[in-house]
Structure 1
């Protein structure tokens, strides 16, 4: 038996521009995305005791059958590189569902990385990215383990300039999520039905190019045209974000497809009063965490 325990990080989309619908039905995007120091803990164990692959998780509502991306990742790895051992995945879940923080995709990529490590790396990083892209559009970014620019449907990754990557490293954030979630498929469906919310790829590329060429790399141009779909239905989100801007002079946006949002903390900015505002508006049961870009 051999085992490996790894952090399965959440991600934030600092820039997310959905640019249009592809011929294959997926959406094209341009996104500046980064893993954070907060996430789930995944333990992958290879065993010869038999019994088949299995997943354990005591977080309510998380499926532990083959519909879970973590077990689908095991199957995808086997298709690319067959092996005899059974796999047990123990998932200590912290990332909330329906948040747009990439929890399921992160779990899948972490499982792929863990199996590859335990089997003495039979697959290259490019092969792992190919396998992960079969599982979901967000999966490849978690294999990069650093901030990247995503393109296509999320399967095309580009490293940042060294100075930009260093500027983002350690940047403090508050992540929060109300009691309700946003289903990703619904959000993309609303984008497609509206048809006017898309951002031209040229505008998104110019935004990122100007930022990387600028003198203040800590001023990331927070942008998310996908939040318009969620804001149309869940009015509490834009109201709270505007309150945070007015009361605390803090920059904030929805992350990914939502409903989680992020607050960008400047170096001298205390988090306690902002967290108090979040709890005042969403209640004590709302999810929040102070973290940083990995």
Structure 2
């Protein structure tokens, strides 16, 4: 029986597409791709208690709460879990939204993955269990890779995952968003998909090279949809110490990586002077340990 005083905290890290190659358009209208995905120290936070109303409740707070659809992936993930795996008591969830919405950082996917991690643990399942992966893939292409928040390649429509990249190292990172909405559909619409079929994916051959010099095939179409992205990429590339700059996913968040925290911090201050109104996060890429994604999280019962 569930504890009446139950209270849990879940961490939902932002994902970064360090590289993204579009291989071609499929017959079903989706695109095959290969993307190296890592995760930032930036994260949403979910506070979970047992609902007193007999139904699931979701409250959204934080700096990006106003732009989030209340009928979001968190509630859909709970419903899908009940249908496919087993019972879940009615939950009351407060989502503190710190990741910009529709920004190429997978915030909604990260939130859904966080609640699936909790429900999987309650039923004695791992995040890589086929049933959990199937639910995640059915909800959204980025959700499977967000389940364990560790660096790996994803392929196909995004739901086929390579083994974790053991050679991943922490990188200081500067994330910038110019505050424009960039719908993913519009970016893929601007992509000349017919020219991508059978795309040669030759390029960086090592993990370190792909992290620093990889490419994003959605960058040019995203700039066409939202021209504000172009100057951000140029400004980031020109910052002293920046190891290049790219777009994450379909945007509009851009990032630059650095070798040291001090280089990143100096670059952040310089960027703020030029674009004081833009959202900026000076942090780092990291591989999250599973325990760190579950702070203060007891079991539902016992």
What TM bracket, shorter-length normalisation? 0.7 to 0.9
More divergent stretch after superposition (118-127 vs 94-103): 118-127
Deviations 1:102-137 (A, max 9, x none): 000110111111122234449862221111000000
Q: Aligned equivalents of 1:235 and 1:197: distance in 2?
A: 22
Deviation of 1:249 after TM superposition, in Å, equals: 4.9
Residue 40 of structure 1 contacts residue 94 of structure 1 at CA under 8 Å; is this kept in 2?
yes
Alignment of 1:1-294 (within 5 A): 1=3, 2-47=6-51, 49-58=52-61, 59-64=65-70, 67-83=71-87, 85-121=89-125, 125-162=129-166, 164=167, 168-191=168-191, 194-195=192-193, 198=196, 200-201=198-199, 203-204=200-201, 206-207=202-203, 210-212=205-207, 220-250=212-242, 251-267=244-260, 270-294=263-287
Deviation of 1:197 after TM superposition, in Å, equals: 6.1
Residues 98 and 145 (structure 1), Cα distance of their counterparts in 2 relative to 1, 3 Å cut: closer
Q: Aligned equivalents of 1:150 and 1:122: distance in 2?
A: 19
Residue 98 of structure 1 contacts residue 183 of structure 1 at CA under 8 Å; is this kept in 2?
yes
Q: TM-score, normalised by structure 1?
A: 0.85
- Structure 2: segments with no counterpart, 5+ residues: 288-302
Deviation of 1:200 after TM superposition, in Å, equals: 4.3
Residue 3 of structure 1 contacts residue 118 of structure 1 at CA under 8 Å; is this kept in 2?
no
Residues 83 and 199 (structure 1), Cα distance of their counterparts in 2 relative to 1, 3 Å cut: same
Residues 141 and 106 (structure 1), Cα distance of their counterparts in 2 relative to 1, 3 Å cut: same
Residues 237 and 249 (structure 1), Cα distance of their counterparts in 2 relative to 1, 3 Å cut: farther
Q: Aligned equivalents of 1:74 and 1:4: distance in 2?
A: 15
Residues 234 and 248 (structure 1), Cα distance of their counterparts in 2 relative to 1, 3 Å cut: farther
Q: Aligned equivalents of 2:94 and 2:281: distance in 1?
A: 24
- Structure 1: segments with no counterpart, 5+ residues: none
Q: TM-score, normalised by structure 2?
A: 0.83
Q: Aligned equivalents of 2:196 and 2:73: distance in 1?
A: 29
Q: Aligned equivalents of 1:271 and 1:255: distance in 2?
A: 18
Residue 12 of structure 1 contacts residue 255 of structure 1 at CA under 8 Å; is this kept in 2?
yes
Q: Aligned equivalents of 1:288 and 1:86: distance in 2?
A: 35
